[in-house]
Amino acid sequence: MQEEQEILTEENAEELYERKSFVIDKGQEPLRIDKWVQQHMTNATRNKVQQAIEAGFITLNGGIVKNNYKVRPGDEILVLSLTNPEQTEVKPEPIPLNIVYEDATILVLNKPVNMVVHPGVGNYTGTLLNGIAYHLMQQNPGLNDELLPRFGLVHRIDKNTTGLLVCAKTGEAAAHLAKQFFNHTVSRKYTALVWGNIGEDEGTIVAHIGRHQRFRKMFDAYPEGDHGKHAITHYKVLERFNYVTLVECVLETGRTHQIRVHMKHIGHTLFNDADYGGDRILKGTIYTKYKQFVENCFAICPRCALHAATLGFVHPATNKEVFFESALPEDMKSVIEKWRNYLGSKN
């Protein structure tokens, strides 16, 4: 049996899905696919495998398959499964959600600042997923984490990043969306304020991204490709303020902290990004008035200045492309306007 394993990731987030592809050996005798997968997946139960097949998380030769299909030599089985090893219970909580769009199969949300997306160590309650679970279970009281893993969450963004997220309301929709993220066919644009005056109006950053060699909670760029995973970010300058620049970033891949790491790699750390050193003056002479101005800006936008502004994908039910936009949050709008006025006062 041949096997390849890849990771489905989302910018500013840890891996959500693992993709495993199996090719059936020549000597394999006919065997039900649900039983075969159960035998070859760690901790898989027959019931969960059957649910995954019915939801579309397990496909055969690129198409849907039934549980009673008997595998044959040469068949290719693709399995999408959640990679997060921490099986934290998701407790439904009545948390207000900023819903941009909702129908029978998907839910598009605008995540606010300072909200963790899903439960984990140190954040077991009050997360976006707790609110999503409550919202979906009000519509379907019988829904649980087995019927819809992680209540349809297919990607994440950081606690201090604002903007758009899509969530599935059915297993079939979750599988459909997960494959799109894995295949990098989802369209995403981010707006970021970065330190420094970027030389080119637009450009592309190509550098592997992986865990930092010394600080394991951080990530780093590896341009030689000797560590981490392949990553590509396209950027375009929207507005210049001499000391900082407003940019639009388009993701070709989706790696953890991709924009933050890539922009730092080219010398333009995100404004007020404490993890990567953007919470101190990186450009401009440090004199009293300027220092006070920058500190005021930090107070207005007390977080990494990054916003998931657009999200486009193929709707899992209609197979038509859909596109959503989210306006800049008030903290970023205010700090950008402050820089704009500061630049105007210097001219």
Taking a C-beta distance cutoff of 8 angstroms, is the pair 324, 100 a contact? yes
Strand 162-168 to 306-314 pairing: parallel
Write phi, then psi, for 276 (nearest 5 degrees): -115, 20
- At residue 56's C-alpha, the angle toward residues 20 and 168, to 5°, is 105
CA distance 63 to 267: 45
3-state secondary structure of 310: strand
Tokens of residue 290, six digits: 């300027």
Taking a C-beta distance cutoff of 8 angstroms, is the pair 37, 79 a contact? yes
Tokens of residue 160, six digits: 């201090």
Which H helix or E strand runs over 126? none
The active-site residue out of 34, 75, 158, 279 is 158
Residues 42/46/51/52 CA torsion (nearest 10 deg): 30
Which H helix or E strand runs over 263? helix 258-265
279 is catalytic: no
CA 271 to the chain's CA centroid? 20
Taking a C-beta distance cutoff of 8 angstroms, is the pair 189, 201 a contact? no
- Which residues are identified as catalytic? 158
